[in-house]
Amino acid sequence: MGQSLITLHDKAFRPYLSAAKIGVAIDQVAARLNADYAGRRPLFVVVLTGGFMFATDLLKRFTGECEIVFIRVASYEGTESTGKIQEILGLREDVQGRDIILVEDIVDTGTTLHHLLPTLQANKPASIEIAAMFYKPASLRYPLALNYMAMEIPNDFVVGYGLDYDGLGRNLPDVYVAA
Protein backbone atom coordinates (compact mmCIF):
# COMPACT_ATOMS: atom_id res chain seq x y z
CA MET A 1 0.00 0.00 0.00
CA GLY A 2 1.07 3.59 -0.56
CA GLN A 3 1.79 6.09 2.19
CA SER A 4 1.47 5.26 5.85
CA LEU A 5 -0.64 8.21 7.06
CA ILE A 6 -2.52 10.79 5.01
CA THR A 7 -4.31 13.98 6.00
CA LEU A 8 -7.45 15.23 4.27
CA HIS A 9 -8.75 18.60 5.39
CA ASP A 10 -8.38 18.40 9.19
CA LYS A 11 -8.47 14.61 9.61
CA ALA A 12 -5.74 11.95 9.58
CA PHE A 13 -6.24 8.54 7.98
CA ARG A 14 -4.16 5.36 8.18
CA PRO A 15 -3.94 2.53 5.61
CA TYR A 16 -6.72 -0.04 5.84
CA LEU A 17 -7.23 -2.01 2.57
CA SER A 18 -4.85 -2.33 -0.36
CA ALA A 19 -5.88 -2.00 -3.98
CA ALA A 20 -4.82 -5.64 -4.43
CA LYS A 21 -7.26 -6.89 -1.75
CA ILE A 22 -10.00 -4.75 -3.26
CA GLY A 23 -9.28 -6.26 -6.69
CA VAL A 24 -9.62 -9.83 -5.38
CA ALA A 25 -12.99 -9.00 -3.80
CA ILE A 26 -14.22 -7.45 -7.07
CA ASP A 27 -13.12 -10.55 -9.00
CA GLN A 28 -15.32 -12.66 -6.73
CA VAL A 29 -18.38 -10.40 -7.12
CA ALA A 30 -17.91 -10.25 -10.90
CA ALA A 31 -17.66 -14.04 -11.14
CA ARG A 32 -20.98 -14.41 -9.30
CA LEU A 33 -22.67 -11.77 -11.48
CA ASN A 34 -21.31 -13.41 -14.64
CA ALA A 35 -22.74 -16.76 -13.55
CA ASP A 36 -26.07 -15.38 -12.33
CA TYR A 37 -26.68 -13.15 -15.36
CA ALA A 38 -25.38 -15.41 -18.13
CA GLY A 39 -27.62 -15.00 -21.16
CA ARG A 40 -29.37 -11.94 -19.70
CA ARG A 41 -28.78 -8.23 -20.29
CA PRO A 42 -28.94 -6.40 -16.96
CA LEU A 43 -29.12 -2.66 -16.52
CA PHE A 44 -26.39 -1.54 -14.13
CA VAL A 45 -27.53 1.58 -12.27
CA VAL A 46 -24.43 3.17 -10.81
CA VAL A 47 -24.92 5.44 -7.81
CA LEU A 48 -22.56 8.39 -8.19
CA THR A 49 -20.30 9.85 -7.07
CA GLY A 50 -18.73 7.25 -4.81
CA GLY A 51 -19.65 4.22 -6.92
CA PHE A 52 -17.65 5.23 -9.98
CA MET A 53 -14.42 3.36 -9.16
CA PHE A 54 -16.14 0.15 -8.09
CA ALA A 55 -18.45 0.30 -11.12
CA THR A 56 -15.52 0.80 -13.48
CA ASP A 57 -13.60 -2.18 -12.14
CA LEU A 58 -16.67 -4.40 -11.76
CA LEU A 59 -18.03 -3.71 -15.23
CA LYS A 60 -14.66 -4.35 -16.89
CA ARG A 61 -14.96 -7.85 -15.41
CA PHE A 62 -18.60 -8.41 -16.43
CA THR A 63 -18.50 -10.57 -19.56
CA GLY A 64 -22.13 -10.48 -20.68
CA GLU A 65 -24.16 -7.87 -22.48
CA CYS A 66 -25.30 -5.04 -20.26
CA GLU A 67 -26.33 -1.43 -20.20
CA ILE A 68 -24.99 1.14 -17.77
CA VAL A 69 -26.67 4.28 -16.46
CA PHE A 70 -25.78 6.69 -13.69
CA ILE A 71 -27.77 8.38 -10.96
CA ARG A 72 -26.53 10.73 -8.29
CA VAL A 73 -27.78 11.06 -4.75
CA ALA A 74 -26.23 12.61 -1.67
CA SER A 75 -26.72 11.86 2.02
CA TYR A 76 -23.37 12.74 3.64
CA GLU A 77 -21.98 15.83 5.26
CA GLY A 78 -18.43 15.47 6.52
CA THR A 79 -18.09 12.03 8.11
CA GLU A 80 -21.75 11.50 9.01
CA SER A 81 -24.86 10.56 7.06
CA THR A 82 -27.42 13.34 7.25
CA GLY A 83 -30.22 10.78 7.02
CA LYS A 84 -31.70 12.81 4.18
CA ILE A 85 -31.47 12.00 0.49
CA GLN A 86 -31.16 14.74 -2.05
CA GLU A 87 -31.67 13.29 -5.51
CA ILE A 88 -29.50 15.30 -7.85
CA LEU A 89 -29.65 13.38 -11.13
CA GLY A 90 -32.38 10.82 -11.69
CA LEU A 91 -32.89 7.68 -13.72
CA ARG A 92 -34.46 8.36 -17.12
CA GLU A 93 -34.36 4.86 -18.63
CA ASP A 94 -37.42 2.63 -18.72
CA VAL A 95 -36.79 -0.15 -16.21
CA GLN A 96 -40.03 -2.10 -16.62
CA GLY A 97 -39.26 -5.80 -17.08
CA ARG A 98 -35.50 -5.20 -16.75
CA ASP A 99 -33.00 -6.88 -14.45
CA ILE A 100 -31.56 -4.00 -12.42
CA ILE A 101 -28.26 -4.13 -10.56
CA LEU A 102 -27.72 -1.11 -8.31
CA VAL A 103 -23.99 -0.46 -7.96
CA GLU A 104 -23.03 1.31 -4.72
CA ASP A 105 -19.71 2.21 -3.18
CA ILE A 106 -20.79 1.48 0.38
CA VAL A 107 -23.86 0.35 2.27
CA ASP A 108 -23.73 1.71 5.76
CA THR A 109 -27.02 3.13 7.10
CA GLY A 110 -28.90 1.92 4.00
CA THR A 111 -30.65 5.29 3.67
CA THR A 112 -29.73 5.76 0.01
CA LEU A 113 -31.02 2.32 -0.99
CA HIS A 114 -34.08 2.64 1.25
CA HIS A 115 -34.96 5.72 -0.78
CA LEU A 116 -34.09 4.32 -4.22
CA LEU A 117 -35.59 0.83 -4.05
CA PRO A 118 -39.29 1.81 -3.77
CA THR A 119 -38.87 4.29 -6.61
CA LEU A 120 -37.34 1.62 -8.84
CA GLN A 121 -39.82 -1.09 -7.74
CA ALA A 122 -42.75 1.20 -8.66
CA ASN A 123 -41.55 0.98 -12.27
CA LYS A 124 -41.94 -2.84 -12.25
CA PRO A 125 -38.48 -4.18 -13.09
CA ALA A 126 -38.07 -7.95 -13.45
CA SER A 127 -35.57 -7.90 -10.57
CA ILE A 128 -33.42 -5.58 -8.49
CA GLU A 129 -30.13 -6.61 -6.92
CA ILE A 130 -27.52 -4.59 -5.07
CA ALA A 131 -23.80 -4.79 -5.78
CA ALA A 132 -21.71 -2.85 -3.27
CA MET A 133 -17.99 -2.65 -2.70
CA PHE A 134 -18.25 -2.17 1.06
CA TYR A 135 -20.85 -3.06 3.68
CA LYS A 136 -21.00 -1.88 7.32
CA PRO A 137 -23.51 -4.19 9.02
CA ALA A 138 -23.19 -2.36 12.35
CA SER A 139 -24.55 0.83 10.74
CA LEU A 140 -27.48 -0.66 8.82
CA ARG A 141 -30.83 0.91 9.76
CA TYR A 142 -33.07 -0.67 7.12
CA PRO A 143 -33.52 -4.31 6.10
CA LEU A 144 -31.92 -4.84 2.69
CA ALA A 145 -31.20 -7.90 0.55
CA LEU A 146 -27.47 -7.56 -0.04
CA ASN A 147 -26.54 -10.35 -2.43
CA TYR A 148 -23.38 -8.97 -4.09
CA MET A 149 -21.24 -7.46 -1.35
CA ALA A 150 -17.52 -7.36 -2.03
CA MET A 151 -16.23 -6.61 1.48
CA GLU A 152 -17.70 -6.29 4.95
CA ILE A 153 -15.98 -3.62 7.04
CA PRO A 154 -16.36 -2.32 10.60
CA ASN A 155 -18.30 0.83 11.42
CA ASP A 156 -15.32 3.17 10.90
CA PHE A 157 -15.10 6.14 8.57
CA VAL A 158 -13.10 5.23 5.46
CA VAL A 159 -11.83 7.12 2.41
CA GLY A 160 -10.32 6.11 -0.90
CA TYR A 161 -11.45 3.97 -3.79
CA GLY A 162 -14.33 6.35 -4.54
CA LEU A 163 -15.15 7.18 -0.92
CA ASP A 164 -14.47 10.73 0.20
CA TYR A 165 -14.14 13.05 3.13
CA ASP A 166 -15.78 16.34 2.10
CA GLY A 167 -14.81 15.76 -1.53
CA LEU A 168 -11.22 14.58 -0.98
CA GLY A 169 -9.73 11.10 -1.22
CA ARG A 170 -11.94 9.53 -3.91
CA ASN A 171 -8.94 9.10 -6.22
CA LEU A 172 -6.90 6.99 -3.80
CA PRO A 173 -6.51 3.40 -5.05
CA ASP A 174 -6.28 2.07 -1.48
CA VAL A 175 -8.73 2.57 1.38
CA TYR A 176 -7.80 4.45 4.52
CA VAL A 177 -9.55 4.58 7.90
CA ALA A 178 -9.82 7.57 10.22
CA ALA A 179 -6.84 7.47 12.58
Per-residue pLDDT of the chain (179 residues; tens, 9 = 90+): 556 899 999 999 999 999 999 999 999 999 999 999 999 999 999 998 889 999 999 999 999 999 999 988 765 555 555 555 555 467 788 899 999 999 999 999 998 888 889 888 988 999 999 999 999 999 999 999 999 999 999 999 999 999 999 999 999 999 999 99
Task: Please tell me whether the overall predicted TM-score, pTM, comes out greater than 0.85 for this model.
Answer: yes
Rounded Cα gap, residues 108 and 111, in angstroms: 8
Domain annotation for the chain: domains and CATH numbers = 20-156 (3.40.50.2020)
Rounded Cα gap, residues 62 and 44, in angstroms: 11
Rounded Cα gap, residues 56 and 41, in angstroms: 17
> What is the distance of C-alpha 24 from the center of its chain?
16
Which residues form the catalytic set?
Answer: 108
